Amino acid sequence: MAGFGKLPSVTHYFSGGDASQWRTDVPNYAKVVHESVYPGVDMVFYGNQRQLEFDFIVAPGSDPAQIQLEIDGAMRMRLDRTGNLVIETEGGETMLH
């Protein structure tokens, strides 16, 4: 994974009482790319209006049909009237725009 579009902000993680495990000045990025999730396919994660979104980037000549998503715990999935994927689980609904 690699970060792209370095932002001017940093994040500090102070978790637990052991200061040696704390992380400070961790850089923030506009996008994170996970390369080669499938041959010739990268996955890009980014924030949009306080929501996490992702895209698949398919290289020329690569097969987009190899892309598959597995949703653990899904009891039912449906498309709403605007084309969003609505995933129903025991904990409620999740929507992929």
Give tens-digit pLDDT for 1-26.
999 999 999 999 999 999 999 999 99
Q: Report yes or no: 53 and 47 within 8 Å, Cβ to Cβ.
A: yes
**Tokens linked to 24:** 């400070």
Facing residues of 93 across strands? 88
Give tens-digit pLDDT for 58-80.
999 999 999 998 889 999 999 99
Does the structure show a pLDDT above 90 at 56?
yes
Does the structure show a pLDDT above 90 at 30?
yes
CA dist 60 and 16 (Å) reads 47
Does the structure show a pLDDT above 90 at 97?
no
Q: Report yes or no: 25 and 10 within 8 Å, Cβ to Cβ.
A: yes
pTM comes to 0.76
